[in-house]
Amino acid sequence: MGDQDSIGIRTNIPVIDMQKFPDSGEYEKLKEACEEWGCFRIVNHKIPLTLMSEMKTVVRSLLDLPMEIKNRNTDVIAGSGYMAPTAVNPLYEGLGLYDLGSPLAVRNFCAQLDASPHQNEIIGTYAKAVNDLAIDIGRKLTESVGLFLDLFKDWPCQFRINKYNFTPESVGSSGVQIHTDSGFLTILQDDENVGGLEVMDKYSGQFVPVDPWPGTLLVNLGDLATVWSNGRFCNVKHRVQCKEASIRVSIASFLLGPKGGAIEAPQEFVDSEHPRLYVPVTYEDYRKTRLSTKLQAGEALERIRTPCNS
Ligand SMILES: O=C(O)CCC(=O)C(=O)O
Ligand SMILES: [Fe+2]
């Protein structure tokens, strides 16, 4: 699925039209997108375009705050707070909020950054809308493989506001190295003008550029989607490259996993031909494994393999 160039290399990620559900053809496309790419664009989602652009304006101004204010955005869970540029990622910085579904967490985040009541209102509205959309997509994804579960209702969502300080000197270098997301799924509002995001085609190993497409959103599946689906869904490898000398801003919202509960493949995905690949794991434990091993591109899944594949 997706377009191919003249020598058969896939060049475009799939597009899912949210308004076409419950059309069975769209479910089929969604399933294929999850299995073949672990990544797709969504069009005709319910997040108003005005809210998306107002949110971009707000996050740009938060990222422009002085360092001493951004540093007040401290971790709530490991790695959830402000990340300043580092030697490994000198062009990247990000602010973070855990958890989007909690009005109190949103208020705390805004208070730390001295956000105005207007900014607070926009962040709160966006957080609720994206949280609801993540749950809706999660549900459609499970329906696409024939399961009707209310799996995601209480799962926390975290967001990261990413800024890439691209300059003429940095063209050609890396903004964020190759990685997979560790949670279940990610909704990304990428920069409407500045490209640089690339996803890996799992067959060819080649990177495919994800060009900006204003008004749409990108969905990436993470490691826990691979665990839940017993290896059917692809945890897409991706990276951000500096392609042009312009500041790039994106908002990534991660649907992580059940709070404190373990995630495991349902029995429907396990049979003699498809033995259980992974032991049940909580998001928190899996995240610890990723951080302690520094394995960022899905390799940490090997650490939770079922010992005897029963
Ligand atoms: O900035 C982007 O487009 C991607 C960011 C990303 O991959 C992430 O935050 O996990
Ligand atoms: Fe990512």
- State whether the beta carbon of 135 lies less than 6 angstroms from ligand 1: no
pTM of the entire structure? 0.95
What pLDDT was estimated at residue 4? 65
The residue whose C-alpha atom lies closest to atom 6 belonging to ligand 1 is 252
Any domain includes 1? no
Query: Residue 215: which region, alpha, beta or left (left: phi > 0; alpha: psi -120 to 50)?
Result: left
Is the CB of residue 36 below 6 angstroms from any atom belonging to ligand 1? no
Residue 190 Cα: closest atom of ligand 1 = 3
Indicate whether 9 belongs to any domain. Answer: no
Asked whether residue 5 is domain-assigned, the answer is: no
Q: How many domains is the chain built from?
A: 1
Q: Is residue 121 part of a domain?
A: yes
pLDDT, position 11: 76
Domain that holds residue 33: 15-309
Q: Whose CA is nearest to atom 10 of ligand 1?
A: 181
Nearest-CA residue for ligand 1 atom 5 is 252
Do the domain assignments include residue 286?
yes
Q: Is residue 67 part of a domain?
A: yes
- CA nearest neighbour of 96 among 114, 112, 124, 75: 75
Pairing of strands 92-98, 238-241: unpaired
Per-block average pLDDT, block size 10, for the chain (310 residues)? 62 94 96 97 97 97 96 90 91 94 93 96 96 96 92 92 96 93 97 96 94 97 98 98 96 94 95 95 94 92 82
250 lines ligand 1 (CB under 6 A): yes
Measured distance CA(37)–CA(123) in Å, rounded: 30
ipTM of this predicted complex?
A: 0.98
Q: How far is the CA of 195 from the centre of ligand 2 (A)?
A: 14
**pLDDT the model gives residue 7:** 59
Residue 66 Cα to ligand 2 midpoint, Å, equals 25
Residue 232 lies in a domain: yes
Looking from the CA of residue 220, the nearest atom of ligand 1 is 7
Asked whether residue 38 is domain-assigned, the answer is yes
Residue nearest to atom 8 of ligand 1 (CA): 252
Ligand index nearest the alpha carbon of residue 166:
1
CA 29 – ligand 1 centroid, Å = 24
Torsion of CA 273, 278, 279, 282, to 10 degrees: -140
Distances (CA, A) of 119 to 56, 104, 127: 11, 15, 12
What is the model's pLDDT at position 310?
46
| Residue 36, domain CATH | 2.60.120.330
